[in-house]
Amino acid sequence: MSSLTEDDRRLIEDSLRKFVEDNYAFDERERRQKHNGKFGTHWHTFAELGWLALPFGEEAGGLGGGLEEAQLMMKHFGRGLIEEPYLEVAVMAGKVLEQLGSELFMLLIAGESQVILAHRERASIHSLEDCATSAVADGDSFILNGSKTAVSQAGAADYLLVSALLDAEPAIFQVPVDHPSLRVCEFPTIDSRYAADIELDSVVLGQDALLARGHKAADALRHGVLFTLAALLGELSGIADELVVQTSEFLQTREQFGSKLFQFQALQHKLADMIIGAEEIKSLAWLVCGVITNEDLKTREKVIRSAKARAAVIVRKMAETAVQLHGGMGVSDEMVVSHYLRRVVAVDAFYGDSQSHYSWLSSQYASGDLMQ
């Protein structure tokens, strides 16, 4: 839970908003993408401003924030379509490492190491900690075999956190991304970023590569994924708000048939549905902040998965509507709404798209537990 106050959050938000406005103008996006190196141009600034340490407990070396702060960061990064792998590194890998008390955590929050979780596999995610990649102890070393799928921003990493089954128990290993037996096949994604499919072909690792096993590893993976899905609601909320702003501005500016577009009721009603959607996303973001520390793990998982699925469905619909309402302009690469739509599709796909979460949620009905 966050130990920061509303005032702390307001200060952070002010500097965050300003930073995004000053450094991430939409029309300079292409130039930025060309210049982004492995670490992104601003990564060290993120570290200096404390953003990489923000959503972590003070006892772990963080600044005492929690999910609220992770959502806040993602909200503004979402609005600005910021490509730096904040979600993947600081939120997701950071949350896993924080729970493991690994040295790598201190390097991560200092901005000196970019770590990315390579957990997801092809056989979609039914149980959050499941994986099929195998780890076998061999004398003083471990040998990993398997494949990880659609690891977002893997190309930015210097270390991967790889989940694997060791003696039929989940385990987490740190693997340097330049390991010779690791095959990283990068592919471009719909949101103009990169992800990678990763093959582990007898990856030999030393004892110190094993960060956790058993319950500790399973808990870290489950909580890391859920925390990240919950933080994504911040990004979706930022995008949702911006879609409403951009679309209402456009409707008030553009003229057709001798009238401003906003005077057409059909368009007003579509805009109204977008506003309702933005309101619902804010509410879902608020909802998950309340359950992230819920001790009933099943409830926590259900609420967060349901919220992420629902939010992805709504924002996608909103972005499609925004593109539609912008008419021909909406489908041009020049308009930011078209990029929001592309980003939202990628967010939906991240760690279980809406369909796979609904599928999991529906499977829970059979197990017989009803709401209180």
| Contact status: 310 vs other proteins (CB under 8 A) | yes
Helix (H), strand (E) at residue 181: none
CA–CA distance, 72 with 88 (Å, rounded to integer): 15
DSSP labels, 198-241: EEEEEEEEEGGGEEEETHHHHHHHHHHHHHHHHHHHHHHHHHHH
CA–CA distance, 135 with 204 (Å, rounded to integer): 9
CB of 15 to other proteins, least distance (A): 24
Instruction: Find the part of the chain contacting other proteins (CB under 8 A) among 143-151, 157-165, 197-205, 360-368.
Output: 360-368
Can you tell me which of 106, 136, 329, 361 binds other proteins, judged by CB under 8 A? 361
| Contact status: 363 vs other proteins (CB under 8 A) | yes
* Residues near other proteins (CB under 8 A), total: 39
Can you say how many angstroms the Cα of residue 47 is from the centroid of all Cα atoms in its chain? Answer: 18
CB of 278 to other proteins, least distance (A): 9
Interhelix angle 297-325/336-349, rounded to 10 degrees, is 150
| Contact status: 359 vs other proteins (CB under 8 A) | yes
By the 8 A CB rule, do 98 and 133 touch? Answer: no
By the 8 A CB rule, do 144 and 200 touch? Answer: yes
- The CA-based diameter of the chain, rounded to the nearest angstrom, is 80
CA–CA distance, 65 with 57 (Å, rounded to integer): 6
Q: What is the CA radius of gyration of the chain?
A: 21
Can you tell me which of 150, 203, 307, 323 binds other proteins, judged by CB under 8 A? 307
| Contact status: 52 vs other proteins (CB under 8 A) | no
Instruction: Find the part of the chain contacting other proteins (CB under 8 A) among 120-128, 138-146, 149-157, 282-290.
Output: 282-290
CA distances from 339 to 38, 55, 165, 187, 315 (A): 22, 27, 38, 18, 13
| Contact status: 280 vs other proteins (CB under 8 A) | yes
| Contact status: 5 vs other proteins (CB under 8 A) | no
Instruction: Find the part of the chain contacting other proteins (CB under 8 A) among 35-43, 54-62, 264-272, 345-353.
Output: 264-272
| Contact status: 303 vs other proteins (CB under 8 A) | yes
Window 76 to 115, contacts with other proteins (CB under 8 A): none
| Contact status: 287 vs other proteins (CB under 8 A) | yes
| Contact status: 309 vs other proteins (CB under 8 A) | yes
| Contact status: 272 vs other proteins (CB under 8 A) | yes
CA distances from 64 to 10, 104, 216 (A): 15, 18, 22
Dig out the tokens for 350 from the structure.
């991240």
Backbone angles phi, psi at 232, to 5 degrees: -60, -25
Instruction: Find the part of the chain contacting other proteins (CB under 8 A) among 4-12, 112-120, 185-193, 285-293.
Output: 285-293
Instruction: Find the part of the chain contacting other proteins (CB under 8 A) among 20-28, 138-146, 162-170, 305-313.
Output: 305-313
Backbone angles phi, psi at 305, to 5 degrees: -65, -40
CB of 41 to other proteins, least distance (A): 35
| Contact status: 258 vs other proteins (CB under 8 A) | no
Q: Which is nearer to other proteins, 21 or 279 (CB)?
A: 279
| Contact status: 248 vs other proteins (CB under 8 A) | yes
Dig out the tokens for 271 from the structure.
């805009």
| Contact status: 127 vs other proteins (CB under 8 A) | no
| Contact status: 296 vs other proteins (CB under 8 A) | no
Footprint of other proteins on this chain (CB under 8 A)?
244, 248, 251-252, 262, 265, 268-269, 271-273, 275-276, 279-280, 282-284, 286-287, 290-291, 303, 306-307, 309-311, 314, 358-359, 361-363, 365-366, 368, 370-371
